[in-house]
């Protein structure tokens, strides 16, 4: 299962690869990374149909925000599940994300146990 992680902080790639190393090693997960909303959108559009089944995106990024990316994904690829993450667990961002079709909303620092459960439901 291919998952796309979108965050303008490049160190998240190392963190995610470390936290999901067992799943990656056993070929249960294939992680892809984009470091902007625009890069993520281009990656999705370059595959017909997209291989990605789950997107985990930061909300606050320069350029195309995570919420703008979420809206585009849900309009164009409604079967792709999208969860959002924010350093700010404020109600406004939560409501915007959920109203736009987000599956889940996480706050930083990421609770990887909860995220693993979320991804586990998609794998099984």
Walk along the chain (124 residues) and give the pLDDT tens digit of each residue.
Answer: 999 999 999 999 999 999 999 999 999 999 999 999 999 999 999 988 889 999 999 999 999 999 999 999 999 999 999 999 998 878 999 999 999 999 999 998 999 999 999 888 877 6
Pairing state of beta strands 104-107 and 52-58?
unpaired
pLDDT at 89: 76
The answer regarding whether domain 2-123 maps to CATH 3.40.50.2300 reads yes
Spatial contact of 79 and 50, defined as CB atoms under 8 Å apart: no
Q: How far apart are CA 57 and CA 48, in angstroms?
A: 21
pLDDT at 72: 97
Spatial contact of 106 and 83, defined as CB atoms under 8 Å apart: yes
pLDDT at 124: 62
């Amino acid at each position: 299962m291919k998952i796309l992680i979108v965050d303008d902080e490049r160190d998240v790639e190392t963190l995610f690869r470390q936290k999901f190393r067992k799943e990656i090693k056993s070929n249960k997960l294939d992680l892809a990374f984009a470091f902007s909303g625009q890069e993520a959108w281009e990656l999705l559009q370059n595959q017909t149909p997209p291989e990605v089944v789950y997107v985990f995106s930061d909300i606050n990024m320069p350029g195309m925000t995570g919420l703008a990316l979420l809206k585009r994904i849900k309009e164009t690829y409604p079967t792709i599940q999208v969860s959002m993450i924010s350093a700010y667990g404020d109600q406004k961002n939560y409501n915007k994300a959920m109203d736009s079709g987000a599956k889940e909303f996480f706050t930083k620092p990421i609770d990887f146990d909860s995220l693993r459960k979320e991804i586990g439901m998609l794998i099984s």
